[in-house]
Structure 1
């Protein structure tokens, strides 16, 4: 017993010696640093969707930093825009892009864009660090090179038959060119059955992962990391994402792709 006690004391003394490596601190959940963005009052009713959309984890996966210039590509109702607004801070910039094709199809998208950026304007109603953009889906018109672009549940829209031929190739090329060297593109979308191809995009609003990856890497992107953040193994992958049987519970892939330095 005395030998064991002496050994333990000796080990403690060695551990406190300056020549020894410090004891590593417990690994902190990277999502914790984004809780201010998640709890921001400007997010309004968004929080009712947080359990499924996992906003802090998404921002951590995207590696969003204060002061960055970022784009929300096909912003929809502004869920991601409002997260980014707080995540990049007052010294950062968020460009919230709404395609004119979407607004033509559903005019309410224009109102939702206005509502999403309004809380971040100055007293004169002028954008300060969250800026609305509108234009053709393949030409967002980003005003400066971006650190990160995020597109959530919309990549498949580039492949639907209603879009002019070549839209996907043109749009993805634009996203690549709009990033700074070393910048990242984060893509989240509904998973289609393997080989679903263009039919899955048009009929089910799902994205064939192989088709997507081929298109993205052809533009120059390198897949850096894939996350199972939104995995739903019970999704059969062959139901329209708007069907009541699956809506809100689709299996989704999450990719972070990088533009090489």
Structure 2
């Protein structure tokens, strides 16, 4: 997670507020799910969505989110698992769809094994959001001109490619944030390299469904 000032900025950027319905895609340890749960309150709802593609590799993921949902005060959390492109059948219409450091994975064999592609997922995201809803993407930046070529090898993706793909699904870019930018990131090493881990140059986009 980030320091408190960056967390606050990202929450503001994502427009998560009391009463919101949020889908947290690939929640990992559940840190964002917990944070969103606190913010949306009893009138809101958070769907901790574990893609089947991930659950088959890490069977404990769904159980961990189900356990999280049973924590005191987490009555507004529901653990959900389905294929990525079946998300719209597994979740209700949402105000915010949150992807944190996951979009690049849409270009990996693991995620594509069940038929998911970036284009298909973006269309699914469009259908799942309410009109005016926000699609938030935060990811590791690849070098200019790299496109999607570093998604598997370095776990990076070029921001311009993300924008082009998401806008092709019908979304409108509403805002972008540089709060997670790092000009000293060489963009040529894997994000897990000790020299850059946790400090990668990251971009944040907010797209809106018209």
Q: Same fold (TM over 0.5)?
A: yes
Corresponding residue for residue 224 of structure 1: 174
> For 2:40 and 2:83, how far apart are their aligned partners in 1?
26
Query: Residue 145 of structure 1 aligns with which residue?
Result: 93
Alignment CA distance shift 1:199-1:175 (3 Å): same
1:58 matched to which residue of 2? Answer: 10
> Distance in 2 between the 1:153 and 1:200 partners?
14
Greater relative CO (CA pairs within 8 A, separation 6+):
2
Q: Would you identify which runs of 4 or more consecutive aligned residues in structure 1 move more than 6 Å?
A: none
Alignment RMSD: 1.9
Q: Is the CA contact (8 Å cut-off) linking 2:48 and 2:80 kept in structure 1? A: yes
* Correspondence list, 1:103-142, <5 A: 103-120=55-72, 128-140=75-87, 141-142=89-90
Cα distance in 2 between the residues matched to 1:191 and 1:217: 18
1:52 Cα shift? 8.1
1:57-114 superposed Cα distances (whole Å, 9 cap, x missing partner): 2111111121111111121111110110011011101111011211222233234323
> How many residue pairs are counted as aligned between the two chains?
207
1:5-44 correspondence to structure 2 within 5 Å: none
Partner of residue 159, structure 1: 107
2:183 corresponds in structure 1 to: 233
Which residues of structure 2 form unaligned runs of 5+? none
SS at match of 2:182: coil
Q: Which has the larger share of strand?
A: 2
Does structure 1 residue 184 correspond to structure 2 residue 134? yes
- Contact 1:120 1:130 survives alignment (8 Å): no
**What is the alpha-carbon distance in structure 2 between the residues aligned to residue 60 and residue 185 of structure 1?**
13
Kindly indicate whether the alpha-carbon contact (under 8 Å) linking 1:76 and 1:112 is maintained by their aligned counterparts in 2. no
* 158-167 or 201-210: bigger deviation: 158-167
Secondary structure class of the residue paired with 2:119 = helix
Distance 2:5 2:124 in 1: 27
How far residue 242 of structure 1 moved from its aligned partner, in angstroms, is 1.1
Q: Distance in 1 between matches of 2:85 and 2:72?
A: 26
Higher helix share: 1
Find the counterpart in structure 2 of residue 82 from structure 1.
Answer: 34
Provide TM-score, normalisation by structure 2. Answer: 0.91
Max radius of gyration: which structure? 1
Name the structure 2 match of 1:67. Answer: 19
- Segments of 5+ residues of structure 1 without an aligned counterpart are 1-48, 122-126
The alignment status of 1:101 with 2:53, answered yes or no, reads yes
Report if the CA contact (8 A) 1:98-1:109 is conserved: yes
Are the equivalent residues in 1 in contact too, given 2:62–2:80 (CA < 8 A)? no
Distance 1:93 1:52, change over 3 A: closer
Query: Where does residue 204 of structure 2 map in the other structure?
Result: 254
